[in-house]
Structures are given as C-alpha cells and as structure tokens.
Structure 1
Amino acid sequence: MGGGGFNGSIPDTQTAAKTGYAAAGSDSGHTASSSDASWAWSPTGMNSSLITDFIARASHETTVKGKAVTQAFYGTSPTASSWNGCSNGGREGLQEAQVQPRDYDGILAGAPAVQADRFLPAAMWPQVVMHELDDFVLSCKFDAFDQAVTAACDSRDGVADGVITDPRTCRFNPTSLEAP
C-alpha cells in the first residue's frame, strides 16, 4: 500500500489484512508527520539517502520483504501482487511500474503526485531559507496568516467550509496583518 504526503508513517493495512490479503506499507525510510519534509534536510545540506528512500528505495524494499514474509508465513508465494496508493502513494505506484515492473501484477495509482521535482523543492524551500537565515517564523504567525486568508476567501465559492476552492479568486492583502 502506498503512503501519502511526505509519508513518515506506515499506512493503515488493517482493512486489506481483514479481507484476507497479505498487506505491507512503508514509512518511506523516515519518521515524521506526512506534512513534514524536514527529514530531507540535514545540517550539511539535503539528505540524499533519505530522499532516495522516499522516492523509490523504500517502496521496492517493502515489496521484496513483504513477499518474503508472505512466503515464510504461508509457505507459498503470493499468487498475485497489487499496489494501491493515492497522491504520494500514486506516485510510488507509478515509480514501481516504471522502475520495478516485475514487482506488481496490477497497480492502482490514484491522483499521483508526479511532479515531485517541482513541488517538493517548493514545499521545502521555506525551511531551507529559514535555516540559512537562522530566522524561523513562529507557527503562531503561520496560523494567524492561515486563519486570516481562510476568513477572507473561504466563502467566495458560496460555502464557508474551511476550503478555498479557487485560490485565484482570493484577493487577500497580507499587509492587513501588520501591527500599526
């Protein structure tokens, strides 16, 4: 099973196991919340080993070891292997299909996050800049900004649900948060 976000925890395999499947998942080689990419940064720069785990190695190794555990436990190899993942899990599925085509007989790759070369650096860039400048923005400031933007733009689609459906219609002015 594929993970989501920046992974960092093993996906819930209970449903698959309860329905009779041998199931495995990976934390993608690190422990963190799925929205935390700080693991990719070390004091000396980008952590290429953990990034390689995240991009490809963890999924493949989990697949190989999962099949070995299934063989050892049941005394027979799996008759078929399938992948199921969405977002980063979808990307992992496509990675498996392209780089390790013999790992799975079928792959369900929902909403694959395939432009990692663009959005991963964009997601990590604020952390890199704050690290380099040794000037971290307090989370309370991020929270205040998030709340102000949501309050200003959420209902533009006619529903106040905490989701800004089309950010292009938001005309929030961040200077409105500045203290006089």
Structure 2
Amino acid sequence: MICLGHFTSPGNVNWPLFLDFSHVALHDMAVIGKALTQSFSGTPPKYTYFYGGSTGGRQAYMLAQRYPDDFDGILGFCPAINWDNFQWSPLWAHRVIDKKGIYPRPCEFEAITAAAMKACDRLNGVEDGIISMPSRYFFDAVV
C-alpha cells in the first residue's frame, strides 16, 4: 500500500503515516504556513491561531501538548477522543430497543419531531425549520 510516499505491507501499521496524522503534519503545516506567509508578504504573520472541532478538536489538543509554541492561540472543541466508547455510541439506542422488543412507530417519531420544532425552532429568533444549537434548549418529549 502506498500513501503519501510511505510504504507498508498489508496487516502492518504504517507508522510514518500514523505519526503524520496524529501530530507531525499539523506541526509541519504551522511551520510551512508561516514560512510561506513571510516569503509572499515579506513579514512573518503577526498572530497565528488553530481552531478545530471533532477531529480538529483532537488535533488542537495534540498541538497544545506537543507544539505549544506553534500558535498564539489554540481552540479545540468537541474532540473526537475515547474512540472505544465513541464508535459504539450510535448503536446503543438500537441495542436497548432490540432488547426490550418495543419499537417506536413512524407516527411517534413524527409527533416528537413536530413537538420539538414547535418548542425550540423559534428560540433563536428565527422560525426556519432548524433548531440551532440544540444543546441550548431543553425539550421534554414526555410532556
């Protein structure tokens, strides 16, 4: 298998690629980006920041730990970490439903969706069929 110039055989970890993905490429990006900015503009960047969520959030944590001087500020949110739990979480609801043997009917999903939209859609000031930032709103489906 060939990827970005790193060669490996099937069943073996491609360690150079693994390290690139985990942190080296991010550090290289910062160093090369600053050098390119200076070569094009004649001056180094005044400030540099890294901002990321999910995989970018995980990368932000890695940058802050391994290369804290690469950026003037690092904001990482919603980091995709704890993969042993993270990967299985979407299946948990299915497991519980299968174990109980009680399945919601489509009309129940439709009723809950309609009630949530009615309760939360306009809370951001715009009634547009989108619940923006759902974590900011409490919706009790039982009521």
> Where does the alignment leave 5 or more consecutive residues of structure 2 unmatched?
89-97, 115-143
Q: Are 2:39 and 1:72 aligned? A: yes
TM-score, normalisation: structure 2: 0.54
Change (3 A) 1:157 1:65: farther
- Tell me the equivalent position of 2:113: 159
How far has the Cα of 1:115 moved from its partner? 2.6
- Tell me the equivalent position of 1:99: 66
1:90-138 deviation line (CA, Å, top 9, x unaligned): 111111111001001111112112335x369x69xxxxxxxxxxxxxxx
Distance 1:83 1:50 in 2: 22
Higher relative contact order (CA 8 A, sep 6+): 1
- Tell me the equivalent position of 2:82: 115
> Where does the alignment leave 5 or more consecutive residues of structure 1 unmatched?
1-28, 31-40, 124-148, 161-180
Which of 57, 82, 85 is the aligned partner of 1:90? Answer: 57
1:76 is paired with a residue whose SS is: coil
1:73-104 deviation line (CA, Å, top 9, x unaligned): 11001111100111010111111111001001
1:1-180 equivalences in 2 (<5 Å): 42-116=9-83, 118=84, 155=109, 158-159=112-113
TM-score, normalisation: structure 1: 0.44
1:57 is paired with a residue whose SS is: helix
CA RMSD after TM alignment: 3.2
1:111 is paired with a residue whose SS is: strand
Amino acid at match of 1:103: D
Distance 1:159 1:49 in 2: 46
1:104 is paired with a residue whose SS is: coil
Amino acid at match of 1:66: G
Change (3 A) 1:157 1:63: farther
Change (3 A) 1:157 1:84: farther
Segments ≥4 residues shifted beyond 6 Å: none
Change (3 A) 1:114 1:44: closer
